[in-house]
Amino acid sequence: MNVLPACSQLPVASGIGLRAAHHERVHEQLPDIAWLEVHTENFLGGGATPSMLETLRERYAISLHGVGLSLGSAEGLDEEHLARIADLVRRLDPAAVSDHVSWSVTGGVYFNDLLPIPYDEEALSVIVGNVTRFQEAIGRPVMVENPSTYLRHAQSDRAEPQFLAELCQRSGCGLLLDVNNVFVSTENHGDDAQAYLAAIAHLPIGEIHLSGHHLRQIGNRSIRIDDHGSPVSDPVWALYEQALSLVGPRPTLIEWDSALPPLETLLAEAGKAQTRLDAAKRNAA
Amino acid sequence: MRLADLQAAYRSYLLSGDSAALAPAIVADSFDGAERLAIYRNNFLISLGEALKANFPVTLQLVGADFFEQAARRFVLAHPPQRPCLFEYGAGFADYLRDLPHLSAVPYVAEMARFEFARIAAFNAPVEPAVTPDALAGLSPEQLESLPIRRTRHARIVSARAPVLALWQAHQAAEPDLDAIDMTSRPHALLVCRPEQALMFQELDLSASAFLLAAENETSLGTAAARCGAVDDATLGRIIALALQLRLLALGDRGA
């Protein structure tokens, strides 16, 4: 139960997302953290940034987390983009490679958002095909992340956990479990987060994400919006503890991209996750 | 709905804001389909506006956040990104700003955007082998004349009338001191390049910029040199030495 699936060679410890504003400090001070995750798309230029990652790779395990492959696109993957990712993977030999269960590209436009797909047979076969192509191109299994969603498609005929289970089973990929996204989506759609966790606990989960969200008021109603711009909320910490007890200890990332705080704040959040991971390891022993 | 049709419907909704065709595909409950879709459209527009702010930070300071956000929103709808790498986004932003009637009295804004995009392009250009002085040393005058060359992709030339470089440098301070900058219009060319790790900027004289502009696409060293106009050998030698020192020239394909 506590051996990581093939999609993840990350250390079973907490890590932080590395964003441009912290590159220099991390490079100079090499903070005490087990691993770093970067957005793949920020390192696909030919400039100095990939070589910076090569340097950090000597000290930290690196996770390449994609936001632009658009695995849910009916038109298939952008082969040129995929080739650039495959080059970076060869160059870095990262400990994990992931992207999302969503789409962002159609008809030559990139929307820079994780748009939802319907959970039906056709979308499943599209994303299975795209994940399979992704894994072929980089020669290793990847992880896909459950999204935060703000709507449901009328044509969906199965729940998200079932869709994820079929995707993992049919493509051989792993799941990157974003606990904040589970909380946001289940709250937004009146679903039960505990039931969600129970339904995906048996999947090959190679990494967990934790991040912040906010409650947006619209008239007298409200909706939770994933923002990656605030501390992890108390109910999400509680849900994380439940996930650890169901799934076992997993590499856990503090994901904070907008309104980026000082590095110390990120490291302190990662420390809170590490405390819970340590407890889960003791319980699992 | 077939997935391809659904995604095409999203595309036209996100670009137009008209949700009539797509909303029926969304489950309506405490929020209707249009309200739920608007969350995604809002995120699409705001996140790409943020990407433009990150790529054009001094342009943003010159026009202020309110104006920039409105212009960015219209630009995003007219020219959404075609690729998922946002560090490349905004190639047409300078032209877009240049054509805005509100900015016709302040042409330096579009020129700043052009300069800032050149910085991004130079920074992210692929590293490629450059022609070295050694490679030229053994060549006869005839071989030199016909040597196929082109500008390396990190080497960008920006034409400007306003003192863009001085303005940009002043805005690197927390509180820019603009009083000392002479805003007199003066046509000139700036070189933006990245010979090593760091970006470099410098003003080019007319003959050097003519030489480098001629090498934008593959040409011969002789043809590019002829574009410098009537310059003596020493001047030509100085231009070529600069180009070699800053790794501005690659061997053309015909010579590969």
B21: nearest Cα among B36, B5, B2: B5
CB B255 within 8 A of CB B148: yes
Q: Do B10 and A218 touch (CB under 8 A)?
A: no
A149-158, A266-275, A276-285, B148-157: the lowest-pLDDT one: A276-285
Q: Which residues pair with B192 in a beta bridge?
A: B156, B201
3-state secondary structure chain A: CCCCCCCECCCCCEEEECCHHHHHHHHHHCCCCCEEEEEHHHHCCCCCHHHHHHHHHCCCEEEEECCCCCCCCCCCCCHHHHHHHHHHHHHHCCCEEEEECCEEEECCEEEEEEECCCCCHHHHHHHHHHHHHHHHHHCCCCEEECCCCCCCECCCCCCHHHHHHHHHHHHCCEEEEEHHHHHHHHHHCCCCHHHHHHHHCCCCEEEEEECCEEEEEECCEEEEEECCCCCCCHHHHHHHHHHHHHHCCCCEEECCCCCCCCHHHHHHHHHHHHHHHHHHHHHHC
For chain A, say whether B20 makes contact (Cβ under 8 Å): no
A263: nearest Cα among A14, A19, A71: A19
Residue-level pLDDT at A2: 55
Residue-level pLDDT at A1: 45
* Nearest Cα residue in chain B from A226: B43
Residue-level pLDDT at A284: 82
Residue-level pLDDT at B256: 45
A165: nearest Cα among A134, A203, A126, A127: A203
Q: How far apart are CA B94 and CA A279, in angstroms?
A: 54
CB B220 within 8 A of CB B147: yes
Q: How far apart are CA B208 and CA B237, in angstroms?
A: 11
Chain B segment 38-67 residues within 8 A of A by beta carbon are 39-40, 43-44, 47-48, 50-51
Q: How far apart are CA B256 and CA B239, in angstroms?
A: 23
Question: What separation, in Å, do the N-terminal and C-terminal C-alpha atoms of chain B show?
Answer: 52
Pairing of strands B249-251, B219-220: unpaired
Residue-level pLDDT at A51: 78
Q: Do B3 and A225 touch (CB under 8 A)?
A: no
Q: Do B36 and A155 touch (CB under 8 A)?
A: no
CB A71 within 8 A of CB A123: no
Chain A segment 175-194 residues within 8 A of B by beta carbon are 190
Residue-level pLDDT at A285: 78
Q: How far apart are CA B52 and CA B133, in angstroms?
A: 39
Q: How far apart are CA A225 and CA A202, in angstroms?
A: 27
Q: What is the DSSP code (8-state) at residue B151?
A: E
CB B149 within 8 A of CB B219: yes
Residue-level pLDDT at A48: 57
How far from the centroid of its chain's Cα atoms is residue B165's Cα? 15
Chain B segment 216-235 residues within 8 A of A by beta carbon are none
Q: What is the pLDDT of residues A28-83, one digit of tens each?
A: 999 999 999 999 998 988 665 777 888 899 999 999 999 999 999 999 999 999 99
Q: How confident is the model at residue A21 (pLDDT cuts 50, 70, 90)?
A: confident
Query: When comparing pLDDT for A137 and A285, which is higher?
Result: A137
Whether pLDDT at A281 is above 80: yes
Q: pTM value?
A: 0.92
Q: How confident is the model at residue A20 (pLDDT cuts 50, 70, 90)?
A: confident
For chain B, say whether A151 makes contact (Cβ under 8 Å): yes
Chain B segment 172-211 residues within 8 A of A by beta carbon are 194, 197
Could you say which residues of chain B have pLDDT below 50? 256
For chain B, say whether A42 makes contact (Cβ under 8 Å): yes
